[in-house]
Structure 1
Amino acid sequence: MKRTFLILAVLWFSHTYAQKINYAVSFPNIVHHEANISITAAGIPAGKATFRMSRSSPGRYATHEFGKNVYEVKAFDQNGAPIPITRIDGDVYEVPKQNGTLRVDYTVYAASPDGTYSGIDPASIHLNIPSVFMWIKGFDKAPISITFNIPTDKKWTIATQLKPTEDPLTFTAPGLQYFMDCPTKIGNLHWKEWSIKNPDGKNYRFRLALEAETTDTLAGSFATKIKRLVEEEQAVFGEVPAYDFGTYTFIASINRYVDGDGMEHRNSTMISIPTDFTGKNELLGVFAHEFFHNWNVERIRPKTLEPFNFEKSNMSNELWCAEGFTQYYGELLLCRAGLKSIDDLMGSFKALIYTKENTAGAKRFSPIEVSQHAVFVDAGVAIDRTNYPNMYSSYYPYGGAIALALDLTLRTKFQLTLDDYMTALWKRFGKTEIAYTVPALEEVLADVTHDKTFAADFFTRYVNGHESFDYAPLLEKAGLRLNKSNAGKAWLGQVQYEENATRISSNTVTGTPLYNAGLDFNDVIMQIDGKLVARPADINEIIATHKPGDVINVQYKHRNENKMASLTLAENPMIAISALEESDTSFTNDMRSFRKSWLGTKIK
């Protein structure tokens, strides 16, 4: 019996590790944004084989119909003879019979270069793997190799986190999950490199692969700023992750021919900014955010995203932490690195607080609930009108506002910091790569603070619930004042109008004067307070003559019916954060120390 088991185990081992998936990519019609893809599968069981395109992509949570850009799908046996292949769904193809080795060829169209989609052009090639490459169901663990057949007249280089081989055009991945997480840029790239040492003495290589019209000097200066950011982010956790092949790559396209996006990956990030390259600090925000993700979400990873399912949307309860805390740190670390002023940082934090305290979604729903809605809003496509202004707030600023409040509370109440909490998460979930849950996040907060009651109360009120924070006294500790920027000014509500007209084009928002009076999108405001209006400016001029609490009449048209409503004006809720100057007599030494500890560099 033992001998039989051993023989079966050897056969299974040999069979499994003989499986291999090889991709070959060529660009015979590059001028019209097409690529030819050839997949050769060897060592798979004889019989039926199912090939499919993905419907989701790492770092995105909604579905994306990548299969729509695939056509001319054909299958061949190991001798190159055609065999049947049938399209059984929009993005699924089936070979009913094969003998263990087969090849599938197809054409893919790509003309939307960003973090989710791909772009194929005579000037450069920009590939997000799920949007281009079919895969074989049931063979997620099979090793993968891919060869890029670059046009011979090009002197292009390849930027990717795929593992290089002796052939500069061939790369490998250990399996499907890693392969799908490997964005690739091919073109005339500016390359800059540097190294970072961890406390254990190990060095890791960092690369900037930049597609931009710029000089080598300016690209080098920009890379120096990114290096500063990397060091500042390393200081939060005490170390950078142990990258799989010892290298992290910033793949960046900063030119007018891409679509704006930033997408984190395990050992790289794909950044596309549709503007001329200047090398200025304003370009660095997306770098700060995406690089923080190589700890927070790539390794400190929600259990709801493990493993990532490429066939459907991926709902998560924790995006308020994975994306929202990253949003907070992206802004904070730019300031710590000396790349963002305190005034600009407070402008960013003002937006976080406004989202948390004044948007309908955050007032009505918990950050967990809005995180779950990412399957519809994360670059998802819908043509029908939604009620998002009244039931959804982005988990980016919502979660960022929670991070801001928690950081200031830890500093005030416990003489701890959010850095301490993130480091604890890194040690428990990131280095070990054990996926976390919301209750586990609460446990770590209790461990860090040594206060289970505080942790339970915080999660009950602000994570599982949606209570308000009192930010003013927290900010005051750092010599920052939170005020209403339009205190005493009358306000109709958050509303958009058609251009140069008084037809409401957006949903009116619950709790605002217009909403309470019964007006909504497509209603046309005819008169306010007995005065005719023809433009939004007319409305604003009349409202400016009133004060909060005034009751005015609004005449409007709903479809073809003239209506009259009584409307009670509210106070404008817009906020501002102002920093006390060093010369201000009310700026104390305690405030100065608190601000430095919070916003100052952590690089030793």
Structure 2
Amino acid sequence: MNRIFPFLLLVSFYLPISAQTATNYNISFENAVHHEAKIEATFTQLTKDTIIFEMSRASPGRYALHEFAKNVYGVSVTNSKGDTLKFMRPDPYSWKVTGHDGTIHVTYTLFANRGGGTYSQFDETHAHMNMPATFMYAPDLADQGIQVTFNPREDLNWKVATQLKHQNGNTYYAPNLQYFMDSPTEISDYSKRSFKVHGQTVNFVLHHNGTDAELDAYFEMVKKVVLQEEAVYGTLAPYDYGAYTFLACYIPNASGDGMEHRNSTICTSTRSLAADGANRNIGTVSHEFFHSWNVERIRPKTLEPFDFQHANMSGALWFAEGFTQYYTNLILTRAGIMTPKDYVTGLSRTFNYVWNSPARQFFTPIGMSQQAPFVDAATSVDPVNRVNTFISYYSYGNMLGLALDLSLREEGLNLDDFMKKMWNNFGKTEIPYTIQDIQNTLTSYAGKDFADHFFGNYIYKSDMPNMKTLLNTVGVSLTQDPEKVDFGASVEGGFITENTIMGGAAYQAGLENGDQIIKVDTTPVLQTTNFGGLIQTYHPGDKVKVIFNRFGKTKETTVTLQASKDYALDLFEASNTPVSAKQKAMRDAWLESKHLP
């Protein structure tokens, strides 16, 4: 967030809001059935003869570009007297006006039909708004107040939910552009539950087709998550207006997503709360709420202030996103929503993805983080080689968080207390941090040798710690099956469906994405063939003849099968391995419920 915000917020308590408001919006949804909204924007107090107003190309919480202007049409511009003003388009996302009288009134239609955390969606179930995807803005007025009036569909029993400051009726206020753009809004016939936590209110707004009983049960899970995350930091973040609001849409027309904001979060899913839907949706709640500390207030300097017209790159996402991902399921375990066994075995997939990826030869965790503008819901049409060159900073950071937590616990310390130090140093103060600041904080907490070793080997380089030893301290096994075979490629219906893995068996044999495997030795490979099962009938080191089709020509190669590198994580108890009292105590300290003093 823009660091002028606390000052503007303080001022807003003493001056009339209208005195500070230079941008006023009015939005209505009469044609929501066709996914349209009508938007009126009035920009006042304009002192320059030439004014630019524009649509965002980026959205807080996302790092890639999203060309929101593509869904804008029917633009008209007038002055304060209603006289039509001509405008020109200097680029695809801006409008340029001259000859105004200090006020510009803009009207336009917006088409929106993706109900997630990045875009907006208008239909007859809701008006779901991400502000950068919805509202034009004047950069010259970015530091001044903004007022928006929503016109809910009364015939659909709609009402407004947002972190924006309520002014009156359906009119809301933001102190500046940064805050406004960071304030998603849900307008629907939603249900709401709330509870107080140390003088602040946590609201859960849910737009769904389920029952009140399902919501009540789910809200009990939400409360447990909130309290366990509060225990990590020792306090809730101080929400600007004393409230934090989950904006959840669990509806068939949503797109699965989660997006953190300063005092609220978007949580969307096509899954209802019925059957196992609650347990499958709660992970997003856990992840996004943790962001109210880590990323929203413990904030990388590289994302400050957020740039709405360019991609936002940061080398710290392994910490901002990855450590948050580490806590996602850890919190669910501490809250009693996930069992310790399910948590530990569930780490296996992420562990293998990170530990066995050839991508670590190309980028460190910092370099992986800097790839976000290319992978964070970014779009391109040309093929890429990310299966070999990229590890998600969510997953990489998740495993680094696990490694750091267990390493600290060997020293009688823990990651929770380290996160508290980051909160006290950079979150409470809202001083954006650098990667060096993270290292310095770890130095002050665990000592220079510890911090230098961790950052020198695992952050500035791509080495991996001895996880077998670390996991052993909490009674968790890390094993491999020496008889399991790895082909080194994903095969479905006989076709290799993605780039083969560098150094793997298929790669070494010259097989590639798109090849159609016709036969393995004497066994035909059909569309219905279980290729993975077929390969497992062999042994590591076996040489198999593979007949395949490439570009309409039949070819032959020999594949030397390799031993699988996959690991499995499990509790010692699963293999009847004795757990010492020390290991059990260490595990309990790691996974059991935490309580504030």
Alignment of structure 1 residues 317-328 onto 2, 5 Å: 317-328=315-326
Higher RCO, Cα 8 Å, sep 6+: 2
Report whether the alignment pairs 1:433 with 2:430: yes
Q: Relative to 1, partners in 2 of residues 1:254 and 1:566: Cα closer, same or farther, differing over 3 Å?
A: same
Task: Find the counterpart in structure 2 of residue 379 from structure 1.
Answer: 377
Task: Find the counterpart in structure 2 of residue 465 from structure 1.
Answer: 461
Alignment of structure 1 residues 179-578 onto 2, 5 Å: 179-197=180-198, 203-278=199-274, 280-412=278-410, 414-449=411-446, 451-484=447-480, 486-497=481-492, 500=493, 502-535=494-527, 537=529, 539-578=531-570
Alignment of structure 1 residues 73-92 onto 2, 5 Å: 73-92=75-94
Q: Is the 8 A contact 2:517 2:547 kept in 1?
A: yes
Task: Find the counterpart in structure 2 of residue 50 from structure 1.
Answer: 52
The two structures, once aligned, show a CA RMSD in angstroms of 1.9
Q: Is the 8 A contact 1:46 1:98 kept in 2?
A: no
For normalisation by structure 1, the TM-score amounts to 0.93
SS at match of 1:327: helix
Cα shift at 1:46: 4.2
Task: Find the counterpart in structure 2 of residue 5 from structure 1.
Answer: none
SS at match of 2:89: strand
Q: Relative to 1, partners in 2 of residues 1:343 and 1:87: Cα closer, same or farther, differing over 3 Å?
A: same
Q: Which of the numbers 558, 561, 580 marks the counterpart of 1:588?
A: 580
SS at match of 1:548: coil
Cα shift at 1:19: 5.8
Q: Is the 8 A contact 1:124 1:188 kept in 2?
A: yes
Q: Is the 8 A contact 2:287 2:328 kept in 1?
A: yes
Q: What runs of 5+ residues in structure 1 fail to find an aligned partner?
A: 1-12, 198-202
Task: Find the counterpart in structure 1 of residue 5 from structure 2.
Answer: none
Cα shift at 1:482: 1.2
Of 225-234 and 152-161, the range deviating more from structure 2: 152-161
Q: Is the 8 A contact 1:129 1:181 kept in 2?
A: yes
Task: Find the counterpart in structure 1 of residue 169 from structure 2.
Answer: 168
SS at match of 1:135: coil
Matches of 1:494 and 1:503 in 2, distance apart? 10
Q: What runs of 5+ residues in structure 2 fail to find an aligned partner?
A: 1-14
Cα shift at 1:117: 0.6
Q: Relative to 1, partners in 2 of residues 1:33 and 1:539: Cα closer, same or farther, differing over 3 Å?
A: closer
Matches of 2:534 and 2:213 in 1, distance apart? 55
Give the residue type in structure 2 aligned to 1:496. Answer: V
Q: Is the 8 A contact 1:24 1:39 kept in 2?
A: yes
Cα shift at 1:581: 3.2
For normalisation by structure 2, the TM-score amounts to 0.94
Matches of 1:276 and 1:206 in 2, distance apart? 22
Of 147-156 and 16-25, the range deviating more from structure 2: 16-25
Q: Is the 8 A contact 1:362 1:398 kept in 2?
A: no
SS at match of 1:521: coil
Alignment of structure 1 residues 36-185 onto 2, 5 Å: 36-165=38-167, 167-185=168-186
Q: Is the 8 A contact 2:233 2:419 kept in 1?
A: yes
Cα shift at 1:364: 3.8
Q: How many residues align?
A: 579
Matches of 2:516 and 2:249 in 1, distance apart? 44
Give the residue type in structure 2 aligned to 1:177. Answer: Q
Cα shift at 1:427: 0.7
After superposition, the C-alpha distances for 1:106-144 in whole angstroms (9 at most, x for unaligned) are 100111111001110112110000001000022210100
Task: Find the counterpart in structure 1 of residue 26 from structure 2.
Answer: 24
Identity fraction in percent: 39
Cα shift at 1:361: 2.0
Q: Relative to 1, partners in 2 of residues 1:496 and 1:96: Cα closer, same or farther, differing over 3 Å?
A: farther
Q: Relative to 1, partners in 2 of residues 1:359 and 1:187: Cα closer, same or farther, differing over 3 Å?
A: same
Matches of 1:517 and 1:583 in 2, distance apart? 37
